Chains A and B, each alone.
Chain A
C-alpha cells in the first residue's frame, strides 16, 4: 500500500557543524548550530519552525531547542527509539506532520559529542541490571561479554561468511569505497586519506571478524534537516527535495542489534520491511536508483542491505561490491560523502544530508542522473529508510 503523505513533503534545508573528535562545545550548542544552519540554508526564519523530530537517544530536549531558536510555539514533537535506526524516521515523522497539517516547518536534528563525551563503542557493561524489559533485554548477552555494537554485529558477520562464503576482503571493499569517497570530501574527517584493501586487512581486530577499518568513526557534531510542504518549498532558497517514500521497519523476533534467534541471521528482515514500503510507495525499482546512502556503522551490513533492497540477490552482494561496484563509476556508488567510516558518524543523519545534495546536484562526488536517492537508517536494529527525489 502506498503511503498517502508520500510526495507531500520536502527537505528544504540542511545544516551541520564541522565534524570533529573534540568539538569543545556543549551538545546543545551543536544541535542549535545545526538547526540554525538548516534554517539558514532554506531561507526560513527559525521562529517559523513549529515541529521538532529527533531520537530518544538525543540528549537535547525539544524544550531547549525551542528556547535556543526562539520558537514561540510547537505543535509537533516526536522521538524515535532504537539508536541509529531512527534517522530516516525523523524525516518520516516530519513529513507526516507537514502533509497532515499538524505542523508547517519541522526540524529533524541529532547532535552529540560521541567522541569526546560518551562513546558508544565502550560497551553497555555499566547499564543498570534492572527489572524493566528494556534493561532485561541485556540479561542474555551482557553477562557473557557481548557488550558492544561491534560484538553484536560480528555474530551476524561470522554467519554470513559461513553461509555465503563472504570474506573479510568483501567487507573491506565497503571500507575502501567509503574512504575513496571521503578522500574528495573536504567535510570528511578522512579527507585526502583513501585506503587500500591491504590497509583494511592489516588493521587490528576489534571483534573478529571485524577489523578496525570495518568500524565507523566516533564523531562530535550536529546535523539537522528542515522539512515542509512542496508548496511552501517553492518560495524558499533551495530546490525542494521531495520525500518520495519513507518507512520504518521491525520484523519477526526483533531484538536491538541482537536478533540472533531468528531462523536466519544472514539478512536484515527489518530493512526488508522498509524496502517493501519504499518500493511500493515510490513506485520505483532498484534500476531507477543511481546512488544510495546505506547505513554503515559496520561494513557487513552494507552487503546485507544491497540484498534486502534487491540491488542483487541473497548472497550476491560480495560479487556486487567487487571491482569497485559501489564506488564512483561503479554499478551503484554508495555513500558518496564517505559514509560513517569516512565522513563522520552522525547516527545516519549526515547520510540524509548527502542524499539531499545528490538530488540537488551539489555533492562533491556527484553521480550523474541521481534523480532518486535511497537513504537508510541503522542496521540490525529496528530501522528506517527514505527515498528522496527531485521536485517534478
Chain B
C-alpha cells in the first residue's frame, strides 16, 4: 500500500465515532479517597462532607483529573495468561492503530493529553464517553522516526446525558529506527536520545570515619541528622572536633535536628565527572533550622541537592533532608568507615497545602510556585496506576515493563496529571475550580528519579477569576510533563 493509499484509508476514519463506553460503577467516595491517598492530595472538598458543603461545590466532588478514569475497563486477565485471541476493539483509534501497525508504524509514544472540565463529578454520577477520531496527520519526519500523529477526542457525559468534560489525546505512531540524528523536536524524542546515567551510589567517595565523627555517621545510618553538641556548655557546631573551642570540654554529644533549612550557597559541578554522581551536580551549603550556634546563627551543613536543576537553585530556597543509603558494608557488622554508609541530601522543602483559597486579585502574572520534589518510589507509581484504574502492566510489573523495552515501571499519564493538579491546588487553596489540565508528554518518570514540579502564573483575568498556571514536572532525563492548569478563583 502506498503512503497516499494509507493516508486515504486513515483519513476515511476521521470523524468516526466509537461505541459508548460506560462505567461499571458510579463515582464513589472509596475510590476518590484512594485516589487522594495515591496523589497525597489533602484537599477536603474531595473527602470531608463538612468542608465540602461550604465550598463552591456545595458537597463532595471527585478530583477533576479523575474525569477519564471511571469508565475504564477493570483489571484484565493476568497479563501472563492473557488469551492469545482477543476480539479486536472497534473504536476508531484502535482501527487506526491497526492500519498503521500493518504498515510498519509499530512504535507508539503519547504526545499530548488535554482534559477540559465542564463540571466536577459527584459521587453517584455514572460516567460514559464516546470517542471520535479527530485527526490523522500526514506522514511526518520526527526525531523518533517517520510517523503519523493520531488525535482523538473523548466526550464525557453522565448517564443522563449531562456533558461533564472532554479529553483530547494525541499519540505518534512511528517506524522505529527511521529517526533523524538528534534533531530533538519533541521532548519525548529528546528524552530517548539522552543517555540515562545510572551510577551506583556505592561508588561515591566514602567518608573517613574516626572517633571524632563516628557518632554523626551512626545517626545518618538511622536517618537522623545529628550535629555535634558540647555537653559542657551546650554549644552546637559543625564540623566536629573532639574539644569545644568555647568552653574547653572534651565531652562531646550531639543534637538531632529536623533537617529543614535554607540554601546559603551552592556549586554546580560540571567537570570533572566522577563515578557515583549525576551531572551537572548541584551541591549546597545549607543553613539548618533549629541549630543555633549560640550566636544566633544557624549551623551550616554541606550536601548534594536532589530534584533541583542548576537553573532552579537559588540562595535562600527552603530545603528539607532526604537520605541516600549510599554504601553497603565493606565488612559486615563494621560501624567505622568499613560499615554501611548513609549520606544526607537535601531536596526542596515540600510546600504546605494552603488552607484558605487565593483570589485572582492576589495573584500576579509571572508569580512563581514553590518547587515540589517528589522522591518517586515504586509505590507512588503502582498506587497511582491503580487509583486511576490504569491496569497496564508497564505501570506495575517491572519484569514485563523491562521485557517491553522500558528501563523500569513508569508513571502513568493520569497520575502525572493528578500530581500536577494537586501541586497547583495545594498552592491555590481548596476552593479553586480546575477547568483544564493540558500537557505535552516528555521523558518517562521512573522510580527513584526525583520528580520536581515547578510552576509560574501565565495569565490572570481579575474580572473573571480565570488564572492559567504553567507547570512542568522534570526529572534527570528532562521534562516529564509540560503544560498548563487552568483555574477559576474568586475575582
List A residues at the B interface (Cβ < 8 Å). Answer: 121-125, 127-133, 135-148, 151-152, 154-156, 158-159, 162, 204-209, 255, 260-261, 263, 265
Contact = CB atoms under 8 A, between A and B. Distances in A.
Interface stretch (B179-187, B272-280, B376-384, B451-459): B272-280
Given A129-B209, A140-B238, 9 more contacts: A131-B209, A136-B207, A138-B205, A142-B207, A143-B207, A144-B303, A145-B281, A208-B268, A208-B310
21 contacts: A125-B274, A128-B208, A129-B206, A136-B207, A136-B212, A138-B208, A140-B239, A143-B326, A143-B341, A144-B303, A144-B304, A145-B269, A145-B281, A146-B267, A148-B272, A151-B269, A205-B270, A205-B280, A207-B267, A207-B271, A261-B237
Interface in B218-255: 237-239
Given A138-B208, A142-B207, A207-B271, A158 B326 contact: no
B402 interface: no
A145 B204 contact: yes
Contact of B205 (A127, A205, A206): A127
Contacts of A265: 265
Contact of B208 (A125, A130, A255): A130
B271 A205 contact: yes
A166 to B, nearest CB: 13
B302 A140 contact: yes
Contact of B213 (A136, A156, A159): A136
B304 A158 contact: no
A124 B207 CA distance: 12
A154 B267 contact: yes
B302 A260 contact: yes
A3 B436 CA distance: 76
B337 A263 contact: no
Nearest to A139: B207
Interface of B is mostly: loop
Contacts of A142: 205, 207
Nearest to A124: B205
Contact of A155 (B205, B276, B281, B285): B285
A144 B213 contact: no
B343 A143 contact: yes
A131 B266 contact: no
A306 to B, nearest CB: 21
B297 interface: yes
A261 B268 contact: no
B210 interface: yes
Contacts of A144: 283, 302-304, 343, 345
A260 B205 contact: no
Nearest to B212: A136
A142 B310 CA distance: 20
Contacts of A208: 267-268, 270, 280, 310
Nearest to B338: A129
A180 to B, nearest CB: 26
A135 B211 CA distance: 13
Given A121-B272, A123-B272, A143 B205 contact: yes
A218 to B, nearest CB: 12
B264 interface: yes
B208 A131 contact: yes
Contacts, number: 140
B209 A136 contact: yes
A261 B239 contact: yes
Contacts of A121: 272
Residue from B208, B265, B301, B304 whose CB has the most chain A CB atoms within 10 Å: B208
B210 A147 contact: no
Contact of A131 (B271, B337, B341): B337
Contacts of B205: 124-125, 127, 129, 138, 142-143, 147
B209 to A, nearest CB: 7
A135 B205 CA distance: 12
Nearest to B242: A133
Contacts of B106: none
B268 A154 contact: yes
A119 to B, nearest CB: 9
A300 to B, nearest CB: 12
A159 B286 CA distance: 12
B389 interface: no
A206 B281 CA distance: 11
Nearest to A136: B208
3 closest pairs, A vs B, by CB? A208-B268, A139-B207, A154-B267
Contacts of A143: 204-207, 326, 341, 343
B196 to A, nearest CB: 19
A298 to B, nearest CB: 12
Contact of A132 (B210, B237, B302): B210
A117 B142 CA distance: 47
B267 A136 contact: no
B256 interface: no
Contacts of A127: 205
B75 interface: no
A172 B102 CA distance: 60
A159 B204 CA distance: 26
B315 interface: yes
A156 B276 CA distance: 24
B281 to A, nearest CB: 5
Contact of B302 (A123, A125, A141): A141
Contacts of A125: 205, 274
B283 A145 contact: yes
B300 interface: yes
A135 to B, nearest CB: 4
A131 B209 CA distance: 6
Contacts of B239: 137, 139-140, 255, 261
Contact of B207 (A122, A129, A209): A129
B393 to A, nearest CB: 36
Nearest to A205: B270
Contact of A135 (B208, B264, B315, B345): B208
A261 B238 contact: yes
A59 B277 CA distance: 31
A161 B217 CA distance: 33
Contacts of B336: 131
A275 B305 CA distance: 37
B265 A162 contact: yes
B220 to A, nearest CB: 10
B302 A146 contact: yes
Contacts of B212: 133, 136
B207 A260 contact: no
Contacts of A206: 270-271
Given A122-B272, A145-B283, A162-B315, A156 B208 contact: no
A376 to B, nearest CB: 23
Nearest to A134: B208
A139 B213 contact: yes
Interface string B323-342: 00010000000001100010
A207 B212 CA distance: 31
A128 to B, nearest CB: 7
Nearest to B205: A142
Contacts of A204: 270-271
A263 B298 CA distance: 10
A129 B280 CA distance: 24
B357 to A, nearest CB: 34
A129 B310 CA distance: 29
Nearest to B275: A125
